[in-house]
Amino acid sequence: MAAVGLLGPGTGTGSGASPVHRLAAHPKLVAVLAFALVVVATPVHAAWAPAAYAGYLLLVLTAAAVARVRPARLARGLLVELPFVAFALLLPFVSRGPRVEVLGLALSADGLAVGGGILAKATLSVLAATVLAATTEPRALLRGLERLRLPPLLVQILSFMIRYADVVAGELRRMRVARESRGFRGRHLGALRVLGPAVGALFVRSFERGERVHLAMLSRGYAGRLPGGSSEAVPARQWWTALALPLGAAAALLTGALLG
């Protein structure tokens, strides 16, 4: 019932492959969140903002290089922001303010700066999060979230989701194979007559699996909490290594704010 196939982005690279892999999960989580906060806090209208973005990019790419995350993995991570690129591209057209001519189009100067800033920020944040996801195993991330005081019940729900995501996705895959081996091709709205019941069956199976899991837990003495892992303190040096990324970014932000 291991869920390493679907939710194991870190396992493909081999754990312990780099200093970043060896860091505990919760300093890494804090570091990536703090880095994203610094990136988001950068004022888009400042003249020095592009220089700050370049500095952040250098930092996060250095982190990716140290972590030996392959460029293809980083590029794949960036695919998730595609729908919002459209929104960012719209901004120069709809924003108010003085217009500038670009390739014969009258675009809002403000909208261009903001659209570009949003794209840069989203990209930087996704890159940092991709390094985290690629270098940390799901189980370690879960422990990290627990160490960061996420409510225990939420951690339990998360752990069940991670444990069974592969099982449920596997059921969906087998149903798709069964459909397609019988000649099904979902091309038009009428396919919902087949896909609706398939997804409905998936829900019933998932729900009933949850009930069986619960009964199995009760029979093994479950009384509301799961046995926790070890919670030994993380050495200060690990924290400093992980926090080098956001501290570097904060230094870049401060430099820009003071000099710009």
Partner 1 sequence: MHVPDGFLDVPTSAATAALAAGTVAVALRQSRRELDDLTAPLAGLTACFVFAVQMMNFPVAAGTSGHLMGGALTAALVGPWTAVLCMTVVLLVQAVFFADGGLVALGTNVVLVGLVTVLVGWGLLRATTAVWSRSRTAVLAGAGLGAFLSVPAAALVFTALFAAGGVADVPVGTVAAFMTGVHGLIGLGEAAITVAVLGAVVAVRPDLVRGARHLARTGLAPRTDTGRTDTVRTDTVRTDTGRLDPTGSAR
Positions in 1-30 near partner 1 (CB under 8 A)? 7, 9, 29
Work out whether 49 is an interface residue with partner 1 (CB under 8 A): no
Closest CB 233 distance from partner 1, rounded Å: 22
Work out whether 193 is an interface residue with partner 1 (CB under 8 A): yes
Positions in 84-103 near partner 1 (CB under 8 A)? 84, 87, 90-91, 94-97
Q: Residue 156 class from Cβ within 10 Å (0-12 exposed, 13-18 middle, 19+ buried)?
A: middle
Closest CB 259 distance from partner 1, rounded Å: 22
* Nearest residue (CB) to partner 1, 59 versus 91: 91
Work out whether 153 is an interface residue with partner 1 (CB under 8 A): yes
Closest CB 164 distance from partner 1, rounded Å: 5
Work out whether 75 is an interface residue with partner 1 (CB under 8 A): no
Work out whether 141 is an interface residue with partner 1 (CB under 8 A): yes
Work out whether 210 is an interface residue with partner 1 (CB under 8 A): yes
Which window, 54-62, 64-72, 198-206, 238-246, contacts partner 1 (CB under 8 A)?
A: 198-206
CB-based contact 238:27 (threshold 8 Å): yes
Give how many residues touch partner 1 by CB under 8 A. Answer: 90
Of these, 211, 221, 236, 259, which contacts partner 1 (CB under 8 A)?
Answer: 211
H or E element, residue 257: helix 236-259
Of these, 63, 126, 249, 253, which contacts partner 1 (CB under 8 A)?
Answer: 126
Work out whether 67 is an interface residue with partner 1 (CB under 8 A): no
Closest CB 69 distance from partner 1, rounded Å: 11
Which window, 62-70, 201-209, 228-236, 247-255, contacts partner 1 (CB under 8 A)?
A: 201-209
Q: What is the 3-state secondary structure (H, E, C) of the chain?
A: CCCHHHHCCCHHHCCCCCHHHHCCHHHHHHHHHHHHHHHHHCCCCCCCHHHHHHHHHHHHHHHHHHCCCCHHHHHHHHHHHHHHHHHHHHHHHHCCCCEEEECCEEEEHHHHHHHHHHHHHHHHHHHHHHHHHHHCCHHHHHHHHHHCCCCHHHHHHHHHHHHHHHHHHHHHHHHHHHHHHCCCCCCCHHHHHHHHHHHHHHHHHHHHHHHHHHHHHHHCCCCCCCCCCCCCCCCHHHHHHHHHHHHHHHHHHHHHHHHC
Work out whether 257 is an interface residue with partner 1 (CB under 8 A): no
